[in-house]
Amino acid sequence: MPKHVWLCDHCCETNESLNKIKTHEEKCSFNPKNKYCYTCSNHLNEGFWIYGESYKCSKGLNMDHCEDNGNCEGWNCCSDK
């Protein structure tokens, strides 16, 4: 029997509860209003597979805070830099 679930507008998270999905969407890493580094077009992976991943910002911004907490002032949603 089919089951009704709600889908986050920004990622593939689903839940039977609309309230839980709304709460998730507010903090979702892929929600553009949160401006996380790894959803920004300035986020570059310059690592080698043998050494692991190494990320940097193409604008030279410090990623220490924004990588985990979001709200980067230099965040860009578009692929054009």
pLDDT in tens, 21-65: 999 999 998 999 999 988 899 988 887 667 667 788 999 898 888
Of 47, 20, 39, 27, which Cα lies nearest the Cα of 79? 39
pLDDT of residue 69: 86
Q: Is residue 57 part of a domain?
A: yes
Same domain, 41 and 63: yes
Rg (CA), the chain: 16
What percent of the chain is modeled with pLDDT above 70?
Answer: 91
The range of the structural domain enclosing residue 44 comes to: 36-70
Same domain, 4 and 30: yes
Same domain, 18 and 40: no
Q: Report the 10 Å Cβ neighbour count for 50.
A: 5
Q: What share of the chain is helix, strand, coil (3-state, %, to 5)?
A: 25, 15, 60
Same domain, 62 and 40: yes
Q: Is residue 16 part of a domain?
A: yes
Same domain, 41 and 29: no
Of 24, 19, 47, which Cα lies nearest the Cα of 34? 24
Full-model pTM: 0.69
